[in-house]
Structure formats: structure tokens, C-alpha cells
Homo-oligomer: A and B are copies of this chain.
Amino acid sequence: MYLTDEKVAVMGAAGAIGSNLTQTLLASGTASQVAMYDPYGPGLEGAAEEVYHCGFPNVDVTWSTDVGEVLTDVSYIISSGGAPRKEGMTREDLTEANAQIAKQLGLDIKQYCPNCKFVLIIFNPADITGLTALVHSGLPPSHVSTLAALDSTRLQTALAQHFNILQSKVTGCRTYGGHGEQMAVFKGGIQIDGTPLDDTLKGQSVNRTSMSAEEWSGIQERVTGGGARIIQLRGRSSFQSPAQQSVFMLRGVLGESYDWPSGAYVSGHGFDQIMMAMPCTLSSEGASWTLPEGTEEDMNALQASYEHLVVLRNEVIEAGILPPLEEWSTVNPNLA
């Protein structure tokens, strides 16, 4: 009835993402045993009560403000447990505060559940918080990933709206690198109802619609600003789509196919000790990445996005939240 009966921990479960995530794990038949953690007790209890009142059959949902109780015996962890992004903030503004939270999560994992199978970090800037949690957790790199799909689903959404076709008919939308303003929006591989995006840029119509270079630039801007636009429209940052895509990712780990980019620890092929969105296969082994294929322009954008992440990572090292690069393999032998 549920894809797994093993224990799933939702960190930040009192928040908008975490409480939605808990419900969605249960409602979609993904997990039957969910442990909710949040440092804010009343909100956590309220979120748990809401879930109880849903009346899900045959589930075991618990809540606690004691992180050790929640993480003990856990197989899967999804953490939205950072400070949320407010209007006008970039994801990077949150870096230092949330990197500290990620470091503590990594240390807690090392202490309470060193054998957990998969950790998904979804609080911003996820590339940095995911990397920080990985280093301190001691886990194998394939066991820690970040939510990286939303930029791609936003690109798919924007293109479907431009051509006025169903979203599923827009395929191959992928953004790689950082999940920040410097993300790399890949053009190669995108098809609009079977027609390559490049052909529509050369004047070919789909659904009596073509696309100018300016319109494509506008769409790319909409994608990189997609999260900020949600804040403008709703007065709060995205919470449904991160929760939903996190559940899709866990379902990928549990055996379903998952086609969107995921965050992966990458070291090699011109990239060094970084976590960023890559083409990934999710399985019981976690996330395994491959190099993306794209146009020269796409690959240059990826390189630029990577370099932006390196700057952020180095700031976190300078702040003492991550150790110097050469010490990572000591802190986490799985990174050797």
C-alpha cells in the first residue's frame, strides 16, 4: 500500500514545506512511517494534529522536538529545516545561517543514523546546505542529494504557457549547476510537442506560435526569477512544489523513475568538491550523476554557475562552517 514502511524523517515539519511534505508522503502512498521534527514545538504539534485529522489508514506518524529521537533508526531524511526566503532576499543571503543548520544536521546524522540510506536537503541555498550536510555527515556522497528540479519545472511551465500547450508536451527542460540566480538553463534537448526548441527559435511554429530570441531570453529570466515571482503573487515563498518534488525524488530512490535533475556531489571532470544540479539516476543506491550534454553556450553557462558556487562554498569555508578542502576526506572518509 505504501512504497516503503521504513522510517522517513521530515525535518522542519512545522513549516509550510515540511507539513505539506508529511501529508504528501502519506497521501501519495509513498511512506507509512513518518517522524516529524521541528525545534518549534507548538507549530509542530499543530502540524502533526492536522496530519492525524486527515485519517490516513495504517500509518505511524510521530513528532518530536528531540532530534535524536527522530533520527534514530531512520532510513530516509528530507530536510526543509532552514530559515525561509523573504521578499527581496536572494537565496544566497541565507547562506551562512542555513549552512550552520546544515552542519548541525550532518553532525546529527553522524551521531544518530550513520547508516541512513538517503538524505535530501531542500533548504536554500540547497547546493551549499546539501554540501555542508554531506561533509559533516560522513555519508557516502551518493546518499546525499538536493532538490534541484524546480528550475526545470518552471522552465517547462513557462514554455507550455508561451506555446499554450499542455505542460507534459514540453520535454527535456533541464537546468544544471547552482539552484540560484546563476543557474545554467540548458537549451539543448528541449522539445515543444516534439519540435526542437531551436527550430521554433528559427521560426517554426508549434500550435501556431513561434519564439523570438527576446522571448526566449525573457523565459530564461522568468525561470531564474520564478521563486521570487511566487513570493510576489502569494506573499510567501514556494512550499507546495518543493514538497511535491521531494516526494517524487524519494519515490525515485524507492524504485520509480525520476527524470529531473538532482543535486550531486561532483569532484572531477573539471569540477572540484562541489554539490550542484546534474543529470542523475535515483535508485536504492542514492543519486548517481553523469555529465550533462548541451550546446557550447549551455556548457559555458554550467561552468559559470559552477564558479559562482565555488565562491559561495569558499565563503562557507572561510566562515569556519566547512573545513578547508584538503581536510574533507578526513572529516568524511567517503569523500576521499
Residue ranges of A at the interface with B (Cβ–Cβ < 8 Å): 19-20, 23-24, 27-29, 42-43, 45-47, 49-60, 149-150, 152-154, 156-157, 160, 166-168, 226, 229-230, 232-235, 238-241, 244-245, 247-248, 260
Contact = CB atoms under 8 A, between A and B. Distances in A.
A238 B20 contact: no
Q: Count copies of this chain in the complex.
A: 2
A245 B54 contact: yes
Contact of A260 (B50, B55, B168, B232): B55
Nearest to A226: B53
Nearest to A156: B55
Contacts of A55: 149, 152-153, 156, 167, 241, 244-245, 248, 260
Contacts of A239: 50
B53 A153 contact: yes
B24 A234 contact: no
Contact of A54 (B46, B47, B166, B241): B241
A56 B240 CA distance: 12
Contacts of A49: 157, 226, 229-230, 233
A46 B248 CA distance: 21
Contacts of A27: 24, 27-28, 244, 247
Contact of A234 (B46, B157, B168, B245): B46
Contacts of A260: 55
A32 to B, nearest CB: 10
B240 A43 contact: no
